[in-house]
Amino acid sequence: MTSVQEMKATVRPKGGKGAARSARRAGNVPGVIYGNNEPPVMVLIEHDELKKRIYKGHFLSTLYELDVDGKKHRVIPRDFQLDALKDLPMHVDFLRVAEGAKIRVNIPVHVLNTDQSPGVKRGGSVNVVNHSVMLECPVEAIPDSIDVDIAGLEISHSRHLNEVGLPEGVRVIGREDMTLVTIVAPSGFAEEQKAAAEAATAPAEAAAAAPAGGAAPAAGAAAPAAEKK
């Protein structure tokens, strides 16, 4: 489950593109806090700190206590923008959340025990069909991930969301039986299976075709002559 983490920010004195560019040149990232029926607050986050948290993972599903010049805001990141060329943070949005509130978040899918899948051992590939799932959950109980155990999973078999346990109070937004992971057959697998099946049935078919008690006389063969007395 997610834990509340702390992060610092300062009030952004001015809005607009010019002020945002100046803030970035000074090593800060402009952002805004909104929601919970309170006025929005423009903020600045130290660039390196924000970059570290974004690239650490789970940024958009982590609850933060954002200290803005001494005033603390309970928030969750809702969006961020990266520079198209440098992949550096350019802007960030935070949503205020009250204690006990529920929120919709995209939770990543993690695959476990790949080495214990017989399908993988036979050359199959793990195909993650849905890399994340939208859930509605209490802000204090946001799962870090949806863990999918594929131990025992054969080729062409799948794991579905309704086969994975979710924490109490968590609701799926969408189909509860959505496919999460499947084992894809290797190249030539279908032909190998067909050849093996034909080889297995060939002896039985040959035995069924043979007449009982030996071979029948050839068509058109003369009957044996009657014994003379």
Residue 18 has a pLDDT of 87
Task: Answer yes or no: do 125 and 92 share one domain.
Answer: no
Task: Answer yes or no: do 22 and 82 share one domain.
Answer: yes
The pairing of beta strand 28-35 with beta strand 89-96: parallel
Say which residue the tokens 């593109």 belong to.
Answer: 17
Task: Answer yes or no: do 13 and 88 share one domain.
Answer: yes
10 Å CB burial of residue 72 (0-12, 13-18, 19+) is exposed
Nearest to 116 by CA among 131, 129, 126, 108: 126
pTM: predicted TM-score of the whole model, two decimal places: 0.73
Q: Which letter does DSSP use for residue 210 in this model? A: S
d(CA 185, CA 7): 46
| The total number of structural domains that make up the chain | 2
The continuous run of DSSP H or E covering 195 comes out as helix 189-209
**Strand runs labelled E in 25-184:** 28-35, 38-46, 64-68, 71-82, 89-96, 102-112, 125-128, 132-138, 146-149, 158-160, 171-172, 179-184
| Structural domain contains residue 62 | yes
Task: Answer yes or no: do 52 and 94 share one domain.
Answer: yes
User: In which residue ranges of the chain is pLDDT below 50?
Assistant: 220, 229
Task: Answer yes or no: do 91 and 9 share one domain.
Answer: yes
Residue 13 has a pLDDT of 85
| First-to-last C-alpha distance (Å) of the chain | 104
Task: Answer yes or no: do 124 and 57 share one domain.
Answer: no
Residue 123 has a pLDDT of 92
Residue 156 has a pLDDT of 92
The pairing of beta strand 38-46 with beta strand 158-160: unpaired
| Structural domain contains residue 226 | no
Range of the domain at 149: 104-184
DSSP of 154-171: PTT-EEEGGGS---TT-E
| Structural domain contains residue 72 | yes
d(CA 223, CA 143): 87
Task: Answer yes or no: do 108 and 166 share one domain.
Answer: yes
Task: Answer yes or no: do 82 and 110 share one domain.
Answer: no
Residue 229 has a pLDDT of 45
| Structural domain contains residue 208 | no
Task: Answer yes or no: do 108 and 90 share one domain.
Answer: no
| Structural domain contains residue 199 | no
| Structural domain contains residue 229 | no
10 Å CB burial of residue 45 (0-12, 13-18, 19+) is buried
| Structural domain contains residue 201 | no
- CA distances to 4, 44, 157 from 51, in Å: 18, 13, 39
Residue 175 belongs to domain with CATH number: 2.170.120.20
| Structural domain contains residue 140 | yes
Residue 85 belongs to domain with CATH number: 2.40.240.10
Task: Answer yes or no: do 68 and 131 share one domain.
Answer: no
Of 98, 123, 145, the position where a domain reaches its end is: 98
d(CA 107, CA 171): 12
